[in-house]
Amino acid sequence: MDFLDRLRDKAAVQKAERFFPAFAFLGGFSWDSWTIGSKVYETDLVFLSLYYLIALGSIYFIATRKLADCCDKTNDDITPIVNVRDFFNRFSCREWPSSWIARSTWVVQFCFGNLYSALVICYFKSSGTVAAFIIVLILAALLVGNEFLKAKYENFGVCLAFFCLLGTMFFNFLIPHLVHGMGTFWFFFSTILSIGICYLLWLKSSNEFSHNKRFLMAPFTISIALSISYLANWIAPVPLVLKQQIVCKNFSRETYACDVDKLDFWQRMGLKSTTIHKEDGDEIYFMSSVYAPAELKAPIEFRWFYKDPSTNKFKLTDKITSNRMVVRGGRDQGFRSYSKKKNIPAGTYRVETAFKDGAVIGSETFNVLEGLPKYGFVRDSLH
């Protein structure tokens, strides 16, 4: 460690250190975008779990750094260690140099940064509403801010607050991969697990912290805010990801192929809404494919909205779901499902693909028009 301290005293190294947060941020986020951005593997979950556990250990060290003042140091170095409790007592009672606190806060910053980076990507991929995207923006802001908070992490209260937030969001993403299910129960299980770990950290901290309950105010406030956000369907339904969606007619159940309006230039550029032309008696289909991890099962529903010309506002007209609309994970292109409407009037519609009674995975707004399209129909299909 002396070698590292001497190395950091050099002027060139000190100049390079100024740019290290930027390099660490860009490098970590780029790597997560390249790996987790395409698909989440078991190794990704293992690494993210390690980041969480290492952050837990580092915060525990910060929380107990002043326990040494209360310990009986008599025969500290010769007392045998016979169980895990003795090990932690020896660890806590040792007088650590102040430089170790700085190293611990660097570890916390590094682990938090990696967790933020992964969560921003995963929650962004599952965001289907403006509210869910705002949550992602908050995580992204914390990801950037994390690069400037190293000194703040010496404060146990600051560590505990951010650790509670990251823990809840991380467990909400991790647990569906482990139990192959998702929903309200598992979200609140994630919340209780995260706040419980934070409570134990506070309970095991030095008297300076454990005798002051104000250190628990931020974690409990964050947990309540996240719970309200979840019940309001503002939190993206991770780990479900919308892969593709199509509005069409003349649907074939065997091939998941159908007729769509041939896109004009502005529609291909995404600057104009999709259209589907119909004639009397035509059924309009809305198809989507949703990716989920292997073995995970999650019910979904289609919510049809019609834009009332008199108010210019969308109104919910139908919620369509059935026993067949259960996402079964493992297919890279996503689980395919569809809903249909017959004899619907021309107008503007929005269809949401959503976790049943929960948050929106994705949506599309389109116009239903009478007659034949200017450029004709083309055959398209869900991959």
The arithmetic mean of pLDDT across residues 300-311, rounded, is 95
- Does the pTM of the predicted model rise above 0.85? no
The arithmetic mean of pLDDT across residues 306-316, rounded, is 95
pLDDT at 341: 93
pLDDT at 20: 56
3-class DSSP state for residue 183? coil
Residues 227, 347, single domain; the answer is no
Which phi-psi region, left, alpha or beta, contains residue 340 (left: φ > 0; alpha: ψ -120 to 50)?
A: beta
pLDDT at 74: 47
Q: Name 8's Cβ contacts closer than 8 Å, sequence gap at least 6.
A: 14, 17
Domain endpoint, select from 231, 259, 286: 231
Sign of the four-CA dihedral 181, 184, 190, 192? negative
Sign of the four-CA dihedral 117, 139, 230, 34? negative
pLDDT digits (tens, 9 = 90+) for 120-174: 999 999 999 999 999 999 999 999 999 888 889 988 899 999 999 999 999 999 9
**CA angle 243-170-207, nearest 5°?**
170
Query: Residue written as tokens 């995260």?
Result: 194
**CA angle 121-152-49, nearest 5°?**
40
pLDDT at 296: 94
pLDDT digits (tens, 9 = 90+) for 168-213: 999 999 999 999 999 999 999 999 999 999 999 998 887 666 667 8
CATH of the domain at 286: 2.60.40
Residues 164, 277, single domain; the answer is no
Q: State how far the Cα of 160 lies from the Cα of 47, in Å rounded to an integer.
A: 21
Residues 227, 297, single domain; the answer is no
Domain-located, residue 236: no
Number of domains in the chain: 2
Residues 175, 41, single domain; the answer is yes
Q: Name 192's Cβ contacts closer than 8 Å, sequence gap at least 6.
A: none
pLDDT > 90? residue 84: no
The arithmetic mean of pLDDT across residues 88-104, rounded, is 63
Residues 312, 218, single domain; the answer is no
Determine the structural domain holding residue 114 and report its residue range.
2-231
pLDDT > 70? residue 83: no
The arithmetic mean of pLDDT across residues 47-59, rounded, is 95
DSSP letters along 312-379, please? Answer: TEEEEEEEE--TT-EEE---TT-EEEEEEEESPPSEEEEEEEEETTS-EEEEEEEEEEES--TT-EEE
The arithmetic mean of pLDDT across residues 276-296, rounded, is 93
pLDDT at 270: 82
Domain-located, residue 148: yes
Which phi-psi region, left, alpha or beta, contains residue 347 (left: φ > 0; alpha: ψ -120 to 50)?
A: left
Q: State how far the Cα of 237 lies from the Cα of 363, in Å rounded to an integer.
A: 14
Instruction: Say which residue, 74 or 39, is predicted with more confidence.
Output: 39
The arithmetic mean of pLDDT across residues 260-288, rounded, is 91
- Cα torsion 161, 167, 169, 170 to 10°: value is 150
pLDDT digits (tens, 9 = 90+) for 6-35: 655 666 655 555 555 555 555 555 555 555
Q: Name 178's Cβ contacts closer than 8 Å, sequence gap at least 6.
A: none
